Amino acid sequence: MKKIFSGVQPSGDLHLGNYLGAIKNWVSMQSEFDTTFCIVDLHAITVAQEPVELQRRILDVAKAYLALGIDPKKSTIFVQSDVRAHTELCWILNCVAARMGDMEKMTQFKDKSAKGDVERASVGLFDYPVLMAADILLYDTDVVPVGEDQVQHVELARTLARRFNKKFGDTFVIPQPKLTKEGKRIMGLDDPTKKMSKSASSEYNYITLMDTPDVVQKKIRKAVTDSGSEIVYSDEKPALQNLINIYSLFSGDSTENIEKKYIGKGYGDFKNALADVVVNFLVPFQERVKLMSDEDIKKILNKGAMKANEQAEQKIRDVKDRIGLVI
Ligand code: AMP
Ligand code: TRP
């Protein structure tokens, strides 16, 4: 059975981009594949985090996974820092496989550090893609379902795996990224040229999974639209295209059908309907989250960590042996 691995950082409320670009895809893969989903807390600390808030967010992301349909009976769910092999493999890959030349090409680091001061960016932020490669390679992952912004990082994992295998013999499976067609890049509601992101400067950029119906309606009403008034799905209308994609992914309606439904109607009608579709998804989701207790979640995460540890320990032992660290 093919192995699937992916993760989300507990660095803020999840937003529609996280769900439509990644987690929605994970849910549908669970019955067919051997699936592991991680809460990548060590990635979150590459930028400053408030300790108490971080603890809370780790549990919140776990709750969101479950309430979105990740089933602990089918998938392994765990917290990255509970499995030490991730940091261990990261260090080994840093030394024997990753090169400065690879790392300097990483666009996410350039973007993230450009916003702040490069001089003050943590070394961890620079090394983040190698830790992500370790996450993926430890579990013999075949497929990594992510949004488009992570493809370059999965490519790096492929490069590191190939380089290691060439030097030390066949050790790692070469993973492949997997994107969804319409969800791979959900754009900001306030600017269709930038991806929806929790680090955006305006809260009108994103809709979080915990936004109340009022807030969702307000954000969608304020979302930028293109010139004209017809509801058409085209590259020339990127703002509307983004909204139609969101509508389509939540309702299951094809983009053509949505166009047909709104012939003769304007942006106002469409936006009201879009808000309804999103709210109809979010309200029951939020109710499921509220019913979950921290204690139950911790039990699930402990069980997940035990299982992940077993697999990761085997791999790291093999890696250490191959590079001469086992005497
Ligand atoms: P992050 O919030 O950076 O941990 O991202 C978690 C997952 O959500 C990754 O697979 C990202 O590629 C995906 N993702 C984040 N933002 C978006 C977006 N705007 N559109 C599509 N996918 C996204
Ligand atoms: N870097 C990813 C993001 O920000 C999160 C992540 C960490 C990840 N490790 C991973 C995703 C391994 C897939 C596989 O979205």
Shared-domain flag, residues 274 and 253: yes
- Do residues 172 and 161 lie in contact, with contact meaning Cβ atoms separated by under 8 Å? yes
Shared-domain flag, residues 163 and 302: yes
Q: Is pTM beyond 0.85 here? A: yes
Residue matched to tokens 């594949």: 33
Provide the residue range defining the domain that includes 232: 203-289
Ligand number nearest CA of 137 is: 2
135 CA to middle of ligand 2, Å?
Answer: 8
Nearest to 285 by CA among 31, 63, 22: 63
Q: How far is CA 184 from CA 16, 23, 291, in A?
A: 11, 11, 30
Shared-domain flag, residues 46 and 135: yes
Shared-domain flag, residues 100 and 164: yes
Phi, psi of 153 (to 5 degrees): -70, -40
Ligand number nearest CA of 5 is: 2
Shared-domain flag, residues 110 and 211: no
Residue 56 lies in a domain: yes
Shared-domain flag, residues 298 and 152: yes
Helix axes 123-138, 107-115, angle to 10 degrees: 150
Residue 192 lies in a domain: no
Whether 112 is a known active-site residue: answer: yes
Instruction: Tell me what pLDDT residue 120 has.
Output: 85
The CATH number that applies at residue 226 is 1.10.240.10
CA dist 72 and 297 (Å) reads 10
Average pLDDT, the chain: 95
Render pLDDT for 247-282 as a digit per residue (tens, 0 to 9): 999 999 999 999 999 999 989 999 999 999 999 999
Shared-domain flag, residues 60 and 164: yes
C-beta pairs of 113-117 under 8 Å, 24+ apart in sequence: 115/199
Structure tokens at 313: 């320990």
Shared-domain flag, residues 164 and 301: yes
The CATH number that applies at residue 125 is 3.40.50.620
- State whether the beta carbon of 21 lies less than 6 angstroms from ligand 2: no
Structure tokens at 47: 């930028």
Shared-domain flag, residues 96 and 63: yes
Shared-domain flag, residues 16 and 135: yes
213 CA to middle of ligand 1, Å?
Answer: 23
Helix axes 151-168, 107-115, angle to 10 degrees: 130
pLDDT at 299 over 90: yes
Whether 195 is a known active-site residue: answer: yes
> Rounded mean pLDDT of 143-161?
97
- Whose alpha carbon is nearest atom 11 of ligand 1? 147
Shared-domain flag, residues 133 and 39: yes
Residue 197 lies in a domain: no
- Name the pairing type of β-strands 34-39 and 3-8: parallel
The number of domains in the chain is 2
Residue 186 lies in a domain: no
Render pLDDT for 31-79 as a digit per residue (tens, 0 to 9): 999 999 999 999 999 999 999 999 999 999 999 999 999 999 999 999 9
Residue 13 lies in a domain: yes
CA dist 187 and 244 (Å) reads 11
Shared-domain flag, residues 143 and 278: no
Whether 260 is a known active-site residue: answer: no
Phi, psi of 99 (to 5 degrees): -120, 150
Nearest to 238 by CA among 251, 249, 224, 217: 224
